[in-house]
A and B are shown apart, each in its own frame.
Chain A
């Protein structure tokens, strides 16, 4: 649910712009000049030149953090807040479990600030959460806030604001670590991630409907990511890369499995973007971010099973090439085979669900001298799980310091075979390219 803005075609805006005396005038952020809120960054750098747009109808400027046809609502206005609560109420009464609240950092503006993450914004959100808890207990709020981990922490407050938030900074670093063949970017960002209140949870993801954002990385890192993942200019938009998971990973089945393995074993709740479970491709020649929003490929037949309408009338063209086209990649064909990506995804989800440790447990990184290995231990009460990931394209050997777990037998979680017991010496493991292990540690 998008809280921050509406379309400029929305009746509210049409009214607001019609005259300065209109009752809805104060629902949006108007100004006679475009010099207010100087220095605030532009988000859609590829299309917008300013956060202010000139409205010829009311002869004044209106504030928009996103496209100019998406004017920002004015959250200083209690009427706006009341109305947005009513919108939420509508859906809650219909039975939704929760909301992904989009663009939450930008709700409120104040002079001489970045207009992001302001205390007033948090106040608005806390208000909404309070109402939610009062009238619709057991429903969830998930924040979409592309910020550094330290700046994300306030969105959890004391457990009285958001239940969950996307961990944006981690995601590009997982891709970076894979290309660098070095775990350093991943462990460093997780070390910087603050603790969150007990009832709260991070939301992890590899891709979504937007571009793979590179806002929360350094310039050097951004250049590296562009050179490695988006050498073709068509692949870049705003400050990010508009490609799907499979094309980003060169359709390499091992890398896709490894990334999903990390997604499902790092602390947080994983989100899988539609189509990535079958390895769908993208169309970088479509405008904006539409290249990753092509129709879901259900089967190899009419419109990929997406719709019975005329193909020419579809909102977006289907993927047609021999590698990612709907005849090659679709749910129907993958369901038939055990070795398909879809079947594998189902298996790994099942393994993850077999324990609470992944979802609720703590994380402790091991720092083996071989920097291409990302290894960590997840623990919840008495249960411990060791995860070892080989980020490199070549076979690796690693010695892990597992002295704390001496006496435990390692049980590999997919095949449930036993591995040697932990002794005094460093535990030697060898891994093939991009291979990973999940081991349950068991003392008998």
Chain B
């Protein structure tokens, strides 16, 4: 069935002019004029410093920005048509920017970047978020060098972040991805990552582009595709995690992009994830201090309140998703006082697995299943905040590790649920 190309004529013309590239850095944008200029300049500095001889290109897939975003990207190009320049570069550096068709969506932007990498035959590619204001030139080196040297196919980042930042990743996405797919990728939903040309072509051929769930959570779908495809993974420490925009502070949207995509991926990959029990470490190429401990003021009460409200109000929905035992346990902890409240590792793992099984069976609309998990996650987040209030970075990591092992231990129960009775 012929479908509309995601590459407009204008984009294609710009790709023809680039011709071929060794290194490609993709930046998906939509109205990011506030930050993209600095990000692109830093990328350029990194390319000039660490890959001066390689043919490099910065590809901006834009969703139709009405601000200066495309001009800011193009302004970073280095070529002989410019009037004067203080930059000493051996070669031309193309910075191309074009709008992809359709409405702004990260999945279309990423797909465009993958298509560009494929057409330009780039051997090492990276994607960088336009909001990564904490980026340094050596991030380019750390992400791309292992891929360019041909040692790895997929490099995910490790960040320095506050111990309470990224709770969803720490309490759900990382442990579950690890339990399901057997690889300890700490940031499966990354705003910066690198991949080889070969892996990029593999990504392009995936089914995720035509399915709604795959499209919403493209980043994590790509990570899963890399693991499922048996590619060589690595992770590397970059620096301080950039703050994403407020839109992704919305929990339900975040869950759709991570948990929804994760659950959806379980269908086609059943053979893979059901056949092994434990997980393997992923080579870590550079280390750094990952957990910072500065004091934060967080409204924990609100989280607990939303948990209570969720358990109470969503009872009819939860009854369709969870087993009777789990529901009664949840109702049990919902009666506890704030200082006694604890949403333990095992209960939480079981909860998530039952949700996964119900998602597979589509007991109700799948999107509703994902939404129903949100209030329960808030209860878990509350417990995590309380238990790690005084913890050091290492202690936090240890607690997360313990939870991951619990998930791995309980995985067979999901396989049972999957195949058997409801």
In the bound complex, residues from chain B placing their C-beta under 8 Å from that of A372 are 19
Distance of A290 Cα from B385 Cα, bound (Å): 78
In the bound complex, residues from chain A placing their C-beta under 8 Å from that of B80 are 183-184, 187-188, 191, 365, 367, 371
Assign chain A's interface to a size class: 20 to 34
Assign chain B's interface to a size class: 10 to 19
Segment of B84-92, B107-115, B229-237, B393-401 in the binding face:
B84-92
Chain B CB within 10 Å, residue with most, of A221, A371, A392:
A371
In the bound complex, residues from chain B placing their C-beta under 8 Å from that of A224 are 53, 90
Given contacts A182-B91, A182-B92, A218-B88, contact A370 B79 (CB under 8 A): no
Q: Is the CB of A180 within 8 A of B81?
A: no
In the complex, B285 has a CB within 8 A of chain A: no
In the complex, B75 has a CB within 8 A of chain A: no
Say which residue of A184, A369, A396, A397 sits within 8 Å of B91 (CB atoms). A184
Instruction: Tell me the B67-100 residues at the A interface (CB within 8 Å).
Output: 79-81, 88-92, 94
Say which residue of A176, A191, A218, A371 sits within 8 Å of B92 (CB atoms). A371
In the complex, A220 has a CB within 8 A of chain B: yes
Say which residue of B13, B19, B52, B90 sits within 8 Å of A396 (CB atoms). B19
In the bound complex, residues from chain A placing their C-beta under 8 Å from that of B284 are none
In the bound complex, residues from chain B placing their C-beta under 8 Å from that of A176 are 90
Q: Is the CB of B52 within 8 A of A370?
A: no
In the bound complex, residues from chain A placing their C-beta under 8 Å from that of B79 are 184, 367, 371
A 222-247 to B, binary, CB cutoff 8 A, 1 in contact else 0: 00100000000000000000000000
Given contacts A224-B53, A372-B19, A397-B16, contact A367 B91 (CB under 8 A): no
Instruction: Tell me the B1-36 residues at the A interface (CB within 8 Å).
Output: 13-14, 16-17, 19-20
Instruction: Tell me the A157-188 residues at the B interface (CB within 8 Å).
Output: 176, 180, 182-185, 187-188
Distance of A369 Cα from B17 Cα, bound (Å): 6
Closest to B92 in A: A371
B44 to chain A, nearest CB (A): 15
In the bound complex, residues from chain A placing their C-beta under 8 Å from that of B16 are 370, 397
In the bound complex, residues from chain A placing their C-beta under 8 Å from that of B91 are 180, 182, 184, 371
In the bound complex, residues from chain B placing their C-beta under 8 Å from that of A369 are 13-14, 17
B interface, by DSSP: helix, strand, loop or mixed? loop
Distance of A177 Cα from B80 Cα, bound (Å): 12
Distance of A187 Cα from B92 Cα, bound (Å): 12
In the bound complex, residues from chain B placing their C-beta under 8 Å from that of A371 are 17, 79-80, 91-92, 94
Given contacts A370-B17, A396-B19, contact A184 B88 (CB under 8 A): no
In the bound complex, residues from chain A placing their C-beta under 8 Å from that of B19 are 370, 372, 392, 394, 396
Distance of A212 Cα from B52 Cα, bound (Å): 23
A 180-207 to B, binary, CB cutoff 8 A, 1 in contact else 0: 1011110110010000000000000000
In the bound complex, residues from chain B placing their C-beta under 8 Å from that of A188 are 80
Closest to A392 in B: B19
Closest to B14 in A: A369
A 392-408 to B, binary, CB cutoff 8 A, 1 in contact else 0: 10101100000000000
Q: Is the CB of B92 within 8 A of A221?
A: no
Closest to A190 in B: B80
In the bound complex, residues from chain B placing their C-beta under 8 Å from that of A396 are 19
In the bound complex, residues from chain A placing their C-beta under 8 Å from that of B14 are 369
In the bound complex, residues from chain A placing their C-beta under 8 Å from that of B17 are 368-371
A146 to chain B, nearest CB (A): 20
Closest to B52 in A: A220
Distance of A191 Cα from B94 Cα, bound (Å): 20
In the bound complex, residues from chain B placing their C-beta under 8 Å from that of A182 are 91-92
Distance of A185 Cα from B80 Cα, bound (Å): 8
Q: Is the CB of B81 within 8 A of A367?
A: yes
Closest to B17 in A: A369
Distance of A83 Cα from B46 Cα, bound (Å): 58
Distance of A392 Cα from B90 Cα, bound (Å): 16
Closest to B83 in A: A191
Closest to B94 in A: A371
B8 to chain A, nearest CB (A): 16
Closest to A228 in B: B53
Distance of A191 Cα from B90 Cα, bound (Å): 16
Distance of A365 Cα from B82 Cα, bound (Å): 12
Interfacial residues, chain A to chain B (CB-CB below 8 A): 176, 180, 182-185, 187-188, 191, 218, 220-221, 224, 365, 367-372, 392, 394, 396-397
What are 28 sample pairs from A and B whose C-beta atoms fall under 8 A apart?
A176-B90, A180-B90, A180-B91, A182-B92, A183-B80, A184-B79, A184-B80, A184-B90, A184-B91, A185-B90, A187-B80, A188-B80, A218-B88, A220-B90, A221-B90, A224-B53, A224-B90, A367-B80, A368-B17, A369-B17, A370-B16, A371-B17, A371-B80, A371-B91, A371-B92, A372-B19, A392-B19, A394-B19
The 3 A-B residue pairs with the shortest CB-CB distance, nearest first, are: A369-B17, A367-B81, A371-B92
Interfacial residues, chain B to chain A (CB-CB below 8 A): 13-14, 16-17, 19-20, 52-53, 79-81, 88-92, 94
Given contacts A220-B88, A368-B17, A372-B19, 18 further A-B contacts (CB under 8 A): A180-B91, A183-B80, A218-B88, A220-B52, A220-B90, A224-B90, A365-B80, A367-B79, A367-B80, A367-B81, A369-B14, A370-B16, A370-B17, A371-B79, A371-B80, A371-B94, A394-B20, A396-B19
